[in-house]
Structure 1
Amino acid sequence: MELYLDCNATTPVLPAARDAALAAMADTFGNPSSVHASGLKARELLDGVRAAARRVLGASAGRLMFTSGATEGIQTAVLSALCALRERPGRRLALYGATEHKAVPEALRHWDAVLGLGLEIAPIPVDASGRHDLAWLRERLPAAGLVCTMAANNETGAISDLDGIAALMDAHPAALWLVDGVQALGKLNLKLDTRRIDYAPFSGHKLYAPKGIGLLYVREGAPFTPLMCGGGQEGGQRSGTENMAGIAALGAVLAALEAGEVFASGAAMQQHRERLAGAVGQAFPGVVFNAPLDPALSLPTTLNFSVPGVDSRRLQDLFDAAGLRISGGSACGAAKALPSYVLIATGVPEAQAAAAVRLSFGALDGDATIAAACERLRACGEALRELQALAAELELDAAGARQLAPAPRLIDVRDADEVAEAPTPVAETIPLAELEQQLPRLLALPAELPLLFLCRSGRRSLQAAALLRRSGRQRCFSLAGGLASLAP
C-alpha cells in the first residue's frame, strides 16, 4: 500500500470535495453570470464559498477573488503593486525572502522588465531557522516599495515572524506587503483583518481541494490591477468564467475546516511529527534535521532531513521501493539536480543540502497512517544498512575492474536516451527497468564470467549487481562512481 508523505507538494482530494465538484458539474453547472434560475443557483454556490473563505481566513473586508492557484495570485499581486510603484518614484526596492518560492522573484523580475521600472530586486537574508533578518529589512524599508514574505516555507516548514515583520511594515506604510499564504491555509492564522497584509495568495490543492482553484486576498485600499480582463467576472477583478467545480470542491474543504471534525488538530499533528522524527532517528543514526522541530518555529506537518553519506536520490529510491512517497524538496524544482536554494540560504552546507529529503504529511493522516509510516521508515534504515554492506562487496573502482579475470562483460544499465546521448563501448545495453526480463539469459552465462554493470553515477549499476547476486550469480559487480570514473 502506498503511503503518501508529500503533502507540501500536493494533497489528495477530500472525498467530500470530490462529491461537491461532481455535484456542481451535474447539477450546478450554470454560468454564475447568467440571470436565469440555473445561473442564480451557481451564483448562490459561488457567493456561499466566498463567504466561507472570508470566515476561515479572517478577512471580513477587502477583495477576495477566486483564481487558478497561487501562481496566478502572486502574478496579480506583484503586477498590482508594481503598477502602483510607477507613481511612487522614491520606492526603488522590491524585496523578497531568500527562501521564497521561485514564483515570487520570477514574477518580480518579469513584471519589472515588462513595466520598465528598473527596480532593485533583492533577497531578504534569513537565519538558520529560516526566519527573515529583521534588522536588514528595517534598514532598507524606507526605500522599499514592495516586500514579499512567506507565511511558512514549503521545503522546511519554517514559520515566518509575521508579527515582527508587521511591526516594521506598520512603521513604513508606503511599502506594500505580499504574504504567500499557500502553506498557511488551514494551519496558521494570518490575521488578515488586523495585520496590514496587502496581498495574500492561496492554493486549494495544498489542502485537499483539486488543482486549478485558488484565492487571492487584497486588503481594502491596496492598489489593484487585474491580471486578466474580459467579461468582467469576479466584479471585474478576474475575468473568465469561474471554475465552478473547483470552487464547489474548495467550499467543501472550507466547510470541513469550519466544522472542525475532519482534520487533525495542530496538537495532534505535532505528536505525529514527533513520532515520525523519532522513527527517522532510529532508522538513520546520525541523521541531521535541516529545520527546527520547535512547533513555534515550523509547521508540525513537515520534516526536512539529510542522512550523512547518502545522497537524496538514493534515499528517495529507497523510500519509493518501500511505498513511501517522500520528495527531495519543492516539486517545482524536483527535475533540477541541484542543492536546495532554500537550505543554502539558511546556512546548510552544500553537500548536506544536496542530500536533503522532505517528508510532509497532512491533516487527514491519522494514527494508523503515521504508525505504518514509522514502521516503513525503520525498515528503510535496515535496508540501507544491508545495501551499504552489499556495496562494499559489489563496488569496484576502475583499477579493480581492470584486474577482473577473465575480462568482464560490461553491461550499461542507463536508459536508452542516456546511452544515445553519451554512448560507451559496452557488450550490451540493458536499461535497469528491463533487467528482470533479462535475468534468465544472464544467469545462463558461464559462472566464471564476471559481469560489470555501469551507469552514470553508480547508483543504478549497484542495484543491478545486487539483483543478480540475490538471484544466485556471484561474480557481479558495480563500477563505483559510474562512467565518470573511467575517464583517464
Structure 2
Amino acid sequence: MDKEIYLDANATSPVLPAAIAAAAAAMRDSYGNPSSSHAAGLRARALREAARASARRVLGAAGGRVMFNSGATEGIQTAVLSALCAIRARRQRGEACGDLLLYGATEHKAVPESLAHWNEVLGTGLELRALPVDAGGRHRLDVLRELAPRAAFVCTMAANNETGVVSDLDGIAAVLRESASPALWMVDCVQALGKLPLALGASRIDYAPFSGHKLYAPKGIGMLYVREGAPYTPLMCGGGQEEGQRSGTENMAGIAALGAVLEALEGGATFRSHSELLACRERLVGALRAAFPGIVFNAPLEHALPTTLNFSVPGVASADLLEIFDAAGVRVSAGSACSAARAAPSYVLDAMGVPVRRSASAVRLSFGPLLDDATIDLACAQIARCGRALALPVLAPSPLLDGQPQGLVQLDADGASGWLLFDAGARQCVAIDVPEAVAGRSAAMLRAAGYRLLASLHTGQDDRGAAALAREMDGAPGWPADGGALALGDAILARAGQDGARAYLFGRPQAGVLGPDQVRFVFAGHGETLRPDAGAQALCCRGETERALASLETAAPGEGATELDSAAARRLLDAHPDALVVDVRELREHSAGAIRLHGQAALNVPLSRLAEHAGYLAGDGARPVLFVCRSGARSARAARALRGLGHPRAWSLCGGIALAH
C-alpha cells in the first residue's frame, strides 16, 4: 500500500500547509522576542496579538484570559492549580466551598492525575470522585445534581477523545446553576476546536484548555481560556511573559502556526462543514458494516462528533484488527494515544458499561475536518480489503509445504508460549500449554474455523491455561484415559515424558510405529528430559516465548548481528538473488497489504507458524533468509530463532517496513 490513509486524528493531525508556511515565516521574518521594545520585537508582538485576537473570535471569548502555552496538559495543570489554590484560600477564610473534586469518569487521564497531584502537593485534603456516565457515555446529571452542593471543582470534557461522545454542557451548567453550586468548572475542549460551536464568553465555564496538534497545528503549542473573574495562579513563573500569566519566551513559530489554523477556521473555506463531515462518517460507517458483519458501534452516533467512530468486531481482538488495518495502510488506534502502550482495557468503555470482551475488540477511527473525498474513497476500498483479509482462515494448511494438512500455531502471552496442533482435513486440534491470557482468543479461533478440540494439554506445573481453554470450549478432555496416542489425520501425538513428567511427540508413524525418524515436533516443559526415541532431527517446542524453538541436536548459530538496515538489506539481495525475503506478519496482515522489499516480493511465513516452516526456511543452510515485518520486532525474533536452530544466514530488517526506504 503506497498511500497512507491517516484516520487517527484524535491522537494528532498533520500540519496545515498554511500553518507550516506561517511558522517558517515567523522564524524567518518575525524572529524577534515579543518582550523586546525594538522593531523586531514589536513585529513579533503584533504577530502574537493577531493570533490571540483570532483565538478570541473563534472561541467566542471577548473577555477573560486567552493565553498561549505548550498544550492541553499544561493548560489542565494550570487550571487545576488555579482552582485548588483558590479553594484552599477560601477554606482558610472559613468560606463554604465544597469538599469534592469531581471529574468525569471518561476524562483524559491528565485530569484525574493532575487533580491528585496538586491535591497532595497543596495539602487541600479534598476527596476525588469520578462522576459516572450513562451507557451512551454522557455524564449522569442525576448524580451531579446530588453531589453539586458538595463540589469544589468540577472537571468535564466537551467531547471524548476515544468515543467522540459530546457532553451535555448545557445540562451540566443548568445543574450547577440550579444547585447554586460554588464549584469552579473546567471543560477540556481539546476535541471541540473546529468540530463544535464555541461561545465560551457566554458560558459558565471557568477554564478551557486546547491543544493545537489535534487540529492541524504543530505539537508543543496550545491555549488556555480563563473566564473573567475566575481565580488564576501561574504555573510558570519567571520572566513575566504573557503579561505575567505564563512565563517563558513565547514559542513564536507555534503561535504563528496556530494563528494560521484559527484564521482558517474564521474564514470558513478551508475546513469541511458539519453536514459534510456527517456525510463522510456515514460513508465510513457503511464501509465498516459491509466489511465486518456483526460490527458494533460503542457510542451512539447521534451524540458523537461526526469525526469519530469507536467500534468492535465481536471475537476479534483490537490488536489483531489494528495490525490488519495497518497492513492495508489505514492508520487507526485502539483508543487514547497516551495510553496505547498500556495493555489494559479502555477505562472509557468500562465506565460506559461496555462488556469486557467488546471493549477488548475496540478500535477508534478518527479524522479531521480536512478529509477529502478521494481519501474517503480509498479508505472505504481498503476497509473492504481488511474485511476480506479478516475472513481468511488462520488454521489452514501452508501453501509452502505441499498442502500438508497438519499445521502448528504458536500462541504467545506474557512471555509464555503455547501451541495449537491441527489437522485441516479432519478439522481437529490439540492444544498444548496455551497461556491463560489467550484461552478466549484460541477458543474463538477454533470455533470460527469449525475445529473440534480433542484435548487441552500442558507440559508444566501450571495447568490454568489448559483448564481455561477447556472451559471456553465447553469442556475438553485431557490425555486419553487408556494412555494411547491421539490421532490427527494420518499423524499421531504420543506421550514421551519419563517418571510422570509430561512431554509429547508428534509425527507420522510407519507401520503403526512412531520411530525417531518420524518425529516432527517435540513438546516439552523447560528442562524436560526426553527418551532417546524423541528424534534427534525433531524440533522441540517449549513454553518460553524467547526460547520456544530449539533443536534436539547441537546447533551452531551464526555469528554476528542478526539485524540489517535498509541499505545493508539491499546489498544482501543484490549479492544473493536466491535469497528469501520472508514476511513474518500474520496471514491476514499479509493479505491486507503484501510486502515488497527492494523490488522483491516477500513470502508469507507468519511468526506463529515458524516452527512448521523451520526446515523449509533453513534448506541446506546456504540460502540467505531475510525476515521482515512492520516494525522489526517479530522479524528479529524469527531471525534469532532460525539462527538458534543452526541456520547461520538469517537476518531481520532493522526497524521493519515502517522505516525501509
Specify the TM-score bucket, using the shorter chain as the normaliser: 0.7 to 0.9
Any gaps of 5 or more consecutive residues in structure 1?
Answer: 444-452, 454-460, 475-488
1:470–1:307 CA distance, 2 compared to 1 (3 A): farther
SS of residue in 1 equivalent to 2:143: helix
Which residue is equivalent to 1:365?
Answer: 371
Residue 211 of structure 1 aligns to a residue in which SS?
coil
Contact 2:345 2:359 in 1 (8 A): yes
Give the number of the structure with larger relative contact order, counting CA–CA contacts within 8 Å between residues 6 or more apart.
1
Contact 2:8 2:332 in 1 (8 A): yes
2:216 is aligned to 208
Task: For 1:255, give the aligned amino acid.
Answer: E
Match of 2:276 among 268, 274, 280: 268
Residues of 2 paired with 1:432 and 1:180: CA distance?
A: 47
Q: Give 1:92's aligned residue.
A: 99
In the alignment, what sits opposite 1:404?
506
Evaluate the alpha carbon distance shift between residue 271 and residue 164 of structure 1 in structure 2; reply closer, same or farther with a 3 A threshold: same
Q: Are 2:391 and 1:382 equivalent residues in the alignment?
A: no
Looking at structure 1, the residues matched to 89 and 241 of structure 2 have their Cα atoms a distance apart, in angstroms, of: 27
The answer as to 2:329 corresponding to 1:323 is yes
CA distance in 1: counterparts of 2:214 and 2:540, whole angstroms: 43
SS of alignment partner, residue 202 of structure 2:
coil
| 1:175-254 equivalence runs, <5 A | 175-254=183-262
Quote how far apart the aligned CAs of 1:170 are. 2.2
**1:404 is paired with a residue of what secondary structure?**
strand
- Shift of the 167–35 alpha-carbon distance from structure 1 to 2, 3 Å rule, reads same
Letter of the structure 2 residue corresponding to residue 92 of structure 1: D
- Farther-moved stretch of structure 1 (194-203 vs 394-403): 394-403
- The answer on whether the counterparts of 1:6 and 1:359 sit within 8 Å (CA) in structure 2 is yes
Give 1:169 deviation, angstroms: 2.0
Aligned twin of 2:70: 68
Displacement of 1:469: 9.2
In structure 2, give the amino acid aligned to 1:247.
Answer: I
Between the aligned partners of 1:347 and 1:161, the Cα distance in structure 2 is 19
Counterpart secondary structure, 1:13: coil
Shift of the 162–379 alpha-carbon distance from structure 1 to 2, 3 Å rule, reads same
Q: Deviations over 1:293-348 (max 9, x none)?
A: 11xx1000011111111101111110111001010100000001110000000010
Change beyond 3 A, Cα 1:231–1:376:
same
1:464 equivalent among 602, 607, 611: 607
**2:13 counterpart residue number:** 11
* Structure 2 residue identity aligned to 1:464: L
Overall identity of the aligned pairs, in %: 60
Residue 454 of structure 2: aligned partner: none
User: In structure 2, how many angstroms separate the alpha carbons of the residues matched to 1:119 and 1:326?
Assistant: 38
- Consecutive unaligned residues of structure 2, counting only runs of 5 or more, are 398-405, 410-419, 421-430, 433-456, 458-487, 494-503, 508-518, 522-537, 587-603, 618-661
Is the Cα contact below 8 Å between 1:413 and 1:432 reproduced in 2?
no
Query: Aligned pair 1:426/2:550, yes or no?
Result: yes
From 145, 149, 157, give the equivalent of 1:150: 157
What letter is aligned with 1:266? H
2:44 pairs, out of 24, 36, 42, with: 42
Deviation, structure 1 residue 174: 1.3
Q: Contact (CA 8 Å) 1:339, 1:351: kept in 2 or not?
A: no
Distance change >3 Å, CA 2–CA 235, structure 1 → 2 = same
CA separation of 1:38/1:315 partners in 2, compared to 1, >3 Å: closer, same or farther? same
Contact map agreement 2:539 2:550 (CA 8 A) in 1? yes
Q: Are 2:164 and 2:305, in contact at CA under 8 Å, matched by a contact in 1?
A: yes
Which residues in structure 2 correspond to 1:294-309 (within 5 Å)? 294=302, 297-309=303-315
Distance (Å, rounded) in 2 between the aligned partners of 1:64 and 1:209: 17
Letter aligned with residue 28 of structure 1: S
1:284 is aligned to 2:313: no
Deviations 1:6-26 (A, max 9, x none): 000000000010010011011
Q: Per-residue CA shift, 1:120-165, capped at 9, x if unaligned?
A: 0000000011100001011111111100000000000000000000
2:116 is the counterpart of 1:109: yes
Q: Contact 2:297–2:312 at 8 Å: present in 1 too?
A: yes
CA 1:27/1:410 → structure 2, altered by over 3 Å: closer, same or farther?
farther
Partner residue of 2:147?
A: 140
Distance 1:116 1:286, change over 3 A: same
1:463 Cα offset (Å): 2.5
Contact 2:208 2:225 in 1 (8 A): yes
CA deviations 1:23-66 (Å, max 9, x no partner) are 10111100000000000000000000000000000000000000
Q: Distance in 1 between matches of 2:262 and 2:82?
A: 27
C-alpha contact 2:539 2:611 (8 A) present in aligned 1: no
Report the CA distance shift for 1:411/1:369 in structure 2 as closer, same or farther (over 3 A). Answer: farther
Residue 80 in structure 1 maps to residue 88 in structure 2: no
- C-alpha offsets along residues 204-245 of structure 1, whole Å, 9 cap, x if unaligned? 000000000000000000000000100100010000000000
* Alignment correspondent of 2:27: 25
SS at 1:87's partner residue? helix
Deviation, structure 1 residue 389? 5.8
Q: TM-score, normalised by structure 1?
A: 0.86
Task: Say if 2:148 and 2:181, in contact at 8 Å, map to a contact too.
Answer: no
Name the structure 2 match of 1:164. Answer: 171
| 1:54 equivalent in structure 2 | 56
* Structure 1 range deviating more: 387-396 or 165-174: 387-396
Task: Kindly report the root-mean-square deviation, in angstroms, between the aligned alpha carbons of the 2 structures.
Answer: 3.2
Q: What's the offset of the Cα at 1:189?
A: 1.9
Question: What is the one-letter code of the residue matched to 1:75?
Answer: Q
Post-superposition Cα deviations, 1:248-278, rounded to whole Å, max 9, x if no partner, equal 0001101111111111111111111111111
- Computing the radius of gyration over CA atoms, which structure comes out larger, 1 or 2? 2
Q: Give the 3 Å change call, closer, same or farther, for CA 403–379 of structure 1 in structure 2.
A: farther
Q: Which moved more, 1:195-204 or 1:394-403?
A: 394-403
Alpha-carbon contact 2:408-2:612 (below 8 Å) kept? no
TM-score scaled by structure 2?
Answer: 0.64
For 2:19, the aligned partner's letter is A
Secondary structure at 1:112's aligned position in 2? helix
Q: Does 1:314 align with 2:320?
A: yes
Q: Give the whole-Å Cα distance in 2 for the aligned partners of 1:234 and 1:407.
A: 73
Where do 1:334-373 residues align within 5 Å? Answer: 334-373=340-379
Give the secondary-structure state (helix, strand or coil) at the position aligned to 1:285. coil
Q: Is the Cα–Cα contact under 8 Å of residues 186 and 207 in structure 1 kept in the other structure?
A: yes
CA distance, structure 2, for counterparts of residue 293 and residue 334 of structure 1: 24
Structure with greater strand share of residues: 2
| C-alpha separation in 1, matches of 2:252 and 2:342 | 35
Q: Which has the higher helix share?
A: 1
Moved more, 178-187 or 380-389: 380-389
* Change in 2 beyond 3 A, CA 1:204/1:51: same
Does structure 1 retain, via aligned residues, the 8 Å contact 2:605–2:613?
A: no
Q: Is the 8 A contact 1:199 1:218 kept in 2?
A: yes
